[in-house]
Chain A
């Protein structure tokens, strides 16, 4: 692949230790705009930890991260990264619409995108004003996915986005990923389940347990 622009995110000899025990790594990868990467590995191989390190929730153990070719600095790239973890970050007492308003307040919003449209896109029309705690697990997940549409981020870090979703939900995640990648975004996804990604063969990052 010949790309003039530097990769969006690159890791060199990245590893992480917990209590001096290596959790993963050393890992080496580059993620270019318009690319999807699947993080593969067994339970306990450090997939979630890798995503939390990349998101900036955990300190880099050893090695280096680069953002658009420069050593990564959190204050420069925080606006362009969105992280969706096991905990969805939704307030149960607020409605999906209110939750999205907060996300937009903190991260900004894509041009022409508003909470109502984002919720319509993830199939939550009619549930906009229901408190999140009354939604089913799958609907909560969809409400969290709506944040991806709302927030203007170049890099998506998705930890198990397919969990709790039915067939239509899985198709929705794939559709969101395809749209994001087609628009020049990049995504790092961990998953046990099969990903029927249509926009070309995704890059695979293997974690060694």
Chain B
């Protein structure tokens, strides 16, 4: 008898989730389309003045990406709970936190990464100066994994409930306030030509912490939510 090695187990979970996402490619496009539509609405609501749009561009893109991710977050574990795959994952002789970490990684790759890819386009629709673009991408690259990790913990907590969409938003909002503040703070500083490294460093530190703790918290939350 062979015990499955850890690396192979991680690869199996990651490959499974990526294959599943690929088989339903249409779902990957949804958050991207949503972000595109929301961004299009801003000029209609605020007027097409370049100066005004430029001022809000950074924050608007951040909040749009966050909302688009929130839209996709709900589905992170749902199908796995419905067909019993999550039970099998919990029962597998592998560290659950690590397996969930792989699921979170797959989720980030399939929802956040496409959003980061189109973020420069969204930003230029709102006239964000090209010089700020790298800072925005850096901020998004640090902020979106944070949201995936924090969101995964909360999704795991709501795993035992039927309705979770609005509740998830209510639970996630207080947690993502600091993330939004620092990511947008870095963008605002860069736009004003001020040093932006401090908020980025804070985001990076928080991400490092979340990378370690969130999968553990996610595993604990899932065990609570399934224990019924």
Contact = CB atoms under 8 A, between A and B. Distances in A.
Contact of B84 (A75, A88, A98, A152): A88
Contact of B85 (A55, A86, A91): A91
Given A56-B91, A58-B228, A94-B19, 17 more contacts: A55-B91, A57-B91, A57-B226, A75-B93, A79-B93, A87-B82, A87-B84, A93-B23, A101-B12, A102-B12, A105-B8, A105-B13, A106-B12, A107-B4, A107-B92, A108-B93, A110-B1
A111 B83 CA distance: 28
Interface residues of A, number: 34
Given A107-B92, A108-B1, A152-B1, A57 B87 contact: yes
14 contacts: A57-B87, A85-B84, A89-B88, A91-B16, A92-B83, A93-B19, A93-B20, A94-B23, A101-B12, A102-B13, A106-B88, A106-B93, A106-B94, A106-B99
A204 to B, nearest CB: 25
A152 B3 CA distance: 8
A91 B84 CA distance: 9
B9 interface: yes
Nearest to B94: A106
Interface string B195-228: 0000000000000000000000000000000111
A91 B16 CA distance: 9
How would you classify the secondary structure of chain A's contact residues: helix, strand, loop or mixed? Answer: loop
B181 interface: no
- The size bracket of the interface on B is 20 to 34
Contacts of B99: 106
Contacts of B23: 93-94
Contacts of B91: 55-57, 78, 81-83
Contacts of B20: 91, 93-94
User: Interface of chain B, helix or strand or loop or mixed?
Assistant: helix
Contacts of A102: 12-13, 16
B187 to A, nearest CB: 38
A174 B50 CA distance: 74
Contacts of B87: 57, 83, 85, 87, 89
Interface in A84-128: 85-94, 98, 101-111
B11 interface: yes
B163 interface: no
A78 B1 contact: no
Q: Which 8 A-B pairs have the closest CB atoms?
A: A105-B12, A87-B84, A152-B1, A79-B93, A108-B4, A78-B93, A106-B92, A89-B84
Contacts of A109: 2, 4
A86 B93 CA distance: 21
Nearest to A110: B1
B189 interface: no
B89 interface: yes
Contacts of A110: 1-2
Given A89-B83, A92-B83, A94-B19, A106 B1 contact: no
Most buried by B among A79, A82, A108: A108
B24 interface: yes
Interface centre among B8, B13, B93 (most CB of A within 10 A): B93
B156 to A, nearest CB: 15
B8 to A, nearest CB: 5
Interface in B46-95: 79, 82-85, 87-94
Interface string A42-83: 000000000000011111000000000000000100110111
Contact of B9 (A83, A93, A105): A105
A114 B186 CA distance: 52
Interface in B1-29: 1-4, 8-9, 11-13, 16, 19-20, 23-24
Choose among B20, B82, B84, B88 the residue with the greatest number of A CB atoms under 10 Å from its CB: B88
Contacts of B93: 75, 78-79, 106-108
